[in-house]
Amino acid sequence: MKKLLWKINDSVCGWIFMIPFLLLFSIFYGYPVIHNIWLSLTDYSGMKMMNYGFVGLKNYETIFNEGLSGFTGMLLWTFIYAGSVVISSLVLGTFIAVLLDKAGLVIAKIYRGIFILPWVIPAFITILMWRGFLNTSDGLINSILGKFGIPPIPWLTDPLMAKVSTVIVMTWFSFPYFIIVAQGILKSIPGTLYEAAEIDGASTRQSFVKITLPLVVRAMLPTLIMSFIMQFNQFGIYLLTRGEPAAEKLGDPGATDLLITYVFNTAFRTMRYDLAAAYSVIIFFFVGAFSLIAMKVGRSIGSEESK
Amino acid sequence: MITRQKKRKQIGLNIFLSLISITILLPFVAIVLISFGKDVIVVSGSLLPSEFTLEHYVSVFTEYRFINWFWNSIYLSLGTMVISLLITTITVFALSRVRFHGRDIMFSAILLVQVFPLTLSMVSIFKIFSSFGLLDKIEGLMLSNAVMASAGMVLLAKGYFDTIPSELDEAARIDGAGLLTIFVKIILPLVKPILAIVALQSFVLAYNEYVIASVVMTGGFKSMPLAVGLQSMIEGQYGTNWSRYCAAAIMGSLPIIVLFYSMQRYFIGGLSEGGVKL
């Protein structure tokens, strides 16, 4: 009898406890997701603020037909960008974590305090700073290079160079995170593994590539996928380059535009709210798929560990 | 022989780590120099300014709304922290300790939906803010930031709550304790470390958020939080004054730097835990 009462009590109380969160969550997440799906089926834009209406899948047709050239390129770039940032931060972060492991305990703490700076200082401040540093005509980096007689490099103004610059700058932001996560994982790798490798004649580099990296990657897999999602949706690019250098045709994605910055520009510069909504529905599918994978991977690793 | 080799290795290691430290520190040193320098690098062509001055720091206060921005951000971040802490704690308590219908499905749904970046639906967000009368109100931003923070922290926090053995609450139940008593008397004292992480992360998230803030804070310079205000210094109509920007940037990042280095244990604990457990 008492047990049954608990059960009923739990079900009611559980939901009561969830109310505040669910309320806010459905307002700020649920509604936008549904409202976006609706908007993507209308012709709502800066030109048609009031008398907009249902147009079916027309926006999706526009994206996949007319905009296809720009769209596929941008989608591809979003994947390449997110992949490169995650992989280079992972390698750099793990590498530094290994080095810190070998340095003395106190020294390692001091170094980590420094390495972590890019992650600590608010990103909106440092991204804008990088934008100034990388300016072609009067940026800090070109000014210093100029002292050595090197001609100005178009860091953010040449399409290809701008792509490389965004990857470098964003890696600078995200590798400290990987140092810390990798340090946690390194502590759990038994030292006997390395000793055995050393006896077998493995060099330091070999044991880094063959032992450390694979183990860290495995333990970090869910984190890696989540970081990929974060970079996939990296809005910081907007502050760094605004998606520029711009494309020749107005309204096409710029060289460093990611899906997310392009959607923002489509909505707030060209006022095509309908197209922007259709794009964000597409992004939602991508991101949803990634996070499903992350959850699956996380669960399978978790169940393996508990075995 | 071996010790000497080891020593040499240690020295090499330290040189390498110092080199990386320098490359990381260089941009920050540059910011400090630019903010204090009388003639900016571009003019003098040298990294070291010929004369030091505080004029840029003064002009940040006299010519921009820096004080307003600063207090807006502090108020916003503190408010976000409190709201997020409250809702995250009771939500995660329910998800972790209370067996109710639809719990697991809801947990998965939250995880799935929370990856959706709100930036993508700024049109909808703007509509929500305007229909609730929250436009240009910092309190509105507190709510949106708090739900963002707590949706993002649910997974981590639940992982921590789950490590508390369920025998504890079962024993309390047999003694006749209600859910609320269990929550306040048993669980809360045990989860303090994770609550500290939730609080800090929420504060930082609110301090750093600029996309939603730039769209819904429509009241001009006075109502901007720092993130939006600093942006306006760069995109202003009079061109960018980097010395002033750097001065404002340094003062603007101080709260976060102080917070981080004094609470490093919690930030790093939260990170490595999230990485391994997720």
User: Quick one: CATH architecture of A82-240?
Assistant: Orthogonal Bundle (1.10)
Domain B63-277 has CATH 1.10.3720.10: yes
User: DSSP labels for chain B?
Assistant: -HHHHHHHHHHHHHHHHHHHHHHHHHHHHHHHHHHHBSS-HHHH-SSS-SSB-SHHHHHHHHHS-HHHHHHHHHHHHHHHHHHHHHHHHHHHHHHHH---TTHHHHHHHHHHHTTS-GGGGHHHHHHHHHHTT-TT-HHHHHHHHHHHHHHHHHHHHHHHHHTS-THHHHHHHHTT--HHHIIIIIIHHHTHHHHHHHHHHHHHHHHH--HHHHHH--S-GGG--HHHHHHHHHS-TT---HHHHHHHHHHHHHHHHHHHHHSHHHHHHHHHHHHHH-
pLDDT tens digits for range B106-137: 888 888 888 888 888 888 899 899 999 989 89
Optimal mutation site among A8, A105, A129, interface B, most CBs of chain B within 10 A? A129
pLDDT tens digits for range B64-93: 889 999 999 999 999 999 999 999 999 999
Optimal mutation site among A8, A22, A28, A269, interface B, most CBs of chain B within 10 A? A28
Pairwise CB contact (< 8 Å): A24 & B257: no
pLDDT tens digits for range A185-220: 888 788 788 888 888 888 878 888 888 888 888 888
Q: Which of B111, B118, B276 sits opposite A28 (nearest CB)?
A: B118
Q: Provide the pLDDT for residue B44.
A: 45
Q: What is the nearest CA distance from A249 to chain B, expressed in angstroms?
A: 23
Residue B146: pLDDT band by 50, 70, 90 thresholds?
very high
**Would the pLDDT of B247 be above 60?**
yes
**Would the pLDDT of B238 be above 80?**
no
Domain boundaries, chain B: 2-44, 63-277
**Would the pLDDT of A168 be above 90?**
yes
pLDDT tens digits for range A56-81: 888 888 888 766 567 888 889 999 99
**Would the pLDDT of B181 be above 90?**
no
**Would the pLDDT of B275 be above 50?**
no
